[in-house]
Amino acid sequence: MSADDRPWPSLGVVVPVYNEAATIEHACREICAVAERYEGRAVVIAVDDGSADESAEILARLADELEPLVLEARPANGGYGAALGSGARRAHELGLEYVAFMDSDLTNPPQDLLKIGELAREGHPYIKGSRFLPGGGMAAVDPSRRAVTKTGNVVGRTLFGTGVRDVTNGFRAVRTELFLSWPLREPGFAVIMEELDWALRSGVQPVEFPTELGTRSGEQRPTAFSYDPATVLSYLRYPARAFARRVRGRRP
């Protein structure tokens, strides 16, 4: 059977949510609309990470209305990485072969989930969005943030020793059992780098697809992500460790 004849693997789309009451209904409707076009079983798993606003109540109502949507509610805010873990475990319980991670603010285009489906059908175990492939980009992002992101990716991929162009991109998909096999500990955004480190150590080479990164709208709260020194260091920790392992491996 050729890749074109294979069915798309089942997919759990994990959407971590924290205090997004102003716009989460619109986002869920947009993501679910694409999930319904997915050529296979697709479930949108909204993980409310202990929101202090009405996000959980809105999600519970939408889960009763929207066929692809389920709610995974965490009792307290544990951070981005912790929310992804909860969503992946729920995907495993639902028997979903792949788990995709995307932001709840629609800065990741929901229609790109269909690109993930095509690549999953080809059998790629780890699929990452890239802003640096032809067709990808981040033109809507503030120029200073673009510059930091580009520099960080050059440093990260050099230290990792990988051909992956967009090592920091959080829009990605992984075989569910593979993701859950990695002993991830990072509760925050740096789990993206920890995860990639485990993939490369396991001999899993990601395949990339082009994607555009957008920006949050004025009605949304400011992003929780910042380029403060602690965040930068948490991101660099994993490529630095990978580089150190490679150097030790070359020693006579």
Per-residue pLDDT band for 3 (boundaries 50, 70, 90) equals: low
Evaluate whether 239 touches 199 at the Cβ level (below 8 Å): no
Answer yes or no: is pLDDT of 85 > 80: yes
| Sequence spans of domains, the chain | 3-250
Percent of the chain's residues with pLDDT above 70: 92
The pLDDT score that the predictor gives to residue 118 is 98
pLDDT band at 232 (very low <50, low <70, confident <90, very high): confident
Give CA angle at 72 (118, 67), nearest 5°: 55
pTM above 0.85, yes or no: yes
Q: How confident is the model at residue 216 (pLDDT cuts 50, 70, 90)?
A: low
H or E segment at 241?
A: helix 229-250
What per-residue confidence (pLDDT) applies to 28? Answer: 98
The tally of CA atoms less than 13 A away on the side-chain side of residue 163 is: 6
Q: What is the pLDDT of residue 228?
A: 75
- How far apart (Å, rounded) are the C-alpha atoms in residues 74 and 84? 11
Mean pLDDT across the stretch 75-93? 97
- Taking a C-beta distance cutoff of 8 angstroms, is the pair 141, 215 a contact? yes
Judge: domain 3-250, CATH 3.90.550.10.
yes
Q: Is the pLDDT of residue 202 over 70?
A: yes
Q: Could you read off the pLDDT of 121-157 as tens digits, one per residue? A: 999 999 999 999 999 999 999 898 899 999 999 999 9
For residue 176 the two structure tokens come to 């569910």
Average confidence score pLDDT of the chain: 93
Residue carrying structure tokens 């929901």: 110
Q: Looking at residues 205-209, what average pLDDT do you find?
A: 96
Q: Is 18 helix (H, G, I), strand (E, B) or coil?
A: coil
CA torsion through residues 221, 16, 106, 158, sign = positive
pLDDT bucket at 213, cuts 50 / 70 / 90: very high
Whole-number pLDDT of residue 223: 59
pLDDT tens digit sequence for 27-43:
999 999 999 999 999 99
